Amino acid sequence: MLAGVFKAVIDRSSIDPKLVEDISVGTVLAPGGGATEFRAAALVAGFSESTAVKGLNRQCSSGLQAVVDIANAIKSGMIEVGIGAGVESMTSQYGPGAVTEFSELLESHPESANCKVPMGVLSEQMAKDRKITRAVQDAFAASSYQKAVKAQKAGLFNEEIVPLEVKWTDPKTNEEKTVTVKADDGIRDGITAESLGKIRPAFAKDGSIHAGNASQISDGAAAVLLMKRSTAERLGQKIIGKYVAASVVGVKPLLMGIGPWKAIPVALEKAGITKEDVDIYEINEAFASQCVWCINELGLPLEKINPKGGAIAFGHPLGCTGSRQVSTLLTELKRTNKKIGVTSMCVGTGMGMAAVWVAE
């Protein structure tokens, strides 16, 4: 997947691969040490051996952190051209073994021990404590599906997605086939709040969170090419957007879902704008419960939130989401002739991140 998006960056931008000095890749469940496979993916995609590659992990914000790291490296003069990317294969890497046992030292500190509480369990408790009902969650989730279905049928994701040819084994026949993936297959038509209301809770018998109002287990990769405006103009590169500012904040581990609520105002302040100045907010839908709470507490109008749906409808490949959101946001801002956008997400272990973008 990562090699595929790297190749697409070269093909779509016509950038000379030798000009790309550094690539930062966000991922959470990295196989093979992460950076080893990422470097290999860059080389097979056509980048020069002179192009450096690193992997990083800030949980669900890894993809955004990768983009921001490259932007900061450019701003500081360390590099001129770089790529911020994200990738995750949750179908092959996600599971109970993803979180290892803690040492006695880490277990002895209450907040430290809370860092390994499963996301679904702590989100269930947060929904209960903050009085986010199942009905509210299901309505929000149904809306995400409905927006995504409408956008997919209208071809609004086509500009963002790079068709990828992969080998696939049919689980029924065990036959290996070559297929071309060109659309998110998690998007389901016909989803309503009523149909979601029939799904069994996942984390507590009397719980409100289930498979239909939480983000899906998905695979994905995304990449963003960055450089200064002067460099882009000199190289004849099409400018589609501008990175303005970003924030990263910490919250209590058991309240990781409130991360966007704390991170977004900080990013807006750094950018010198108000929440009303923002045309579109892409806030990751890790769980409907936490997303709804953040939106309500920030006082944001629902029509500005995830206009093409979100992770509930098409998935949250952990390391990919932060870089994918940049593409989703800038594409939609351009299509709707709007200007300012924010991407944000809650972050496992109790953090939040947000960034401000301007479309060209």
The runs of H, that is alpha helices, within the chain are 2-13, 35-45, 62-76, 90-93, 104-107, 110-113, 119-129, 134-153, 193-196, 229-235, 259-271, 288-298, 311-314, 321-335
Q: CB atoms < 10 A from the CB of 133, how many?
A: 13
Please say whether the beta carbons of 318 and 223 come within 8 A.
no
Q: What angle do CA 146, 340, 337 make, to 5 degrees?
A: 70
Q: Which of 291, 294, 316, 320 is catalytic?
A: 316
Residue 338 CB burial class (10 angstroms; 0-12, 13-18, ≥19): middle
Element (H, E) at 352: strand 351-359
Q: Which of 60, 291, 294, 320 is catalytic?
A: 60
Paired strand residues for 222: 86
Residue with tokens 């404590």: 129
Amino acid residing at 125: Q
Catalytic residue flag (residue 346): yes
- How would you classify the pairing of strands 81-89 and 219-227? antiparallel
What are the Cα distances from residue 229, in Å, to 110, 237, 335, 356? 47, 9, 22, 17
Which residues have CB under 8 Å from 344's CB, separation 6+?
259, 260, 263, 264, 267, 281, 282, 283, 284, 352, 353, 354, 355
Catalytic residue flag (residue 320): no
Q: Which of 291, 294, 320, 346 is catalytic?
A: 346
b/e sequence 279-293, b meaning 16+ C-beta within 10 Å: bbbbbbbbbbbbbbb
Q: What's the order of all strands across the beta sheet hosting 22-26?
A: 52-56, 22-26, 81-89, 219-227
Which of the residues are catalytic? 60, 316, 346
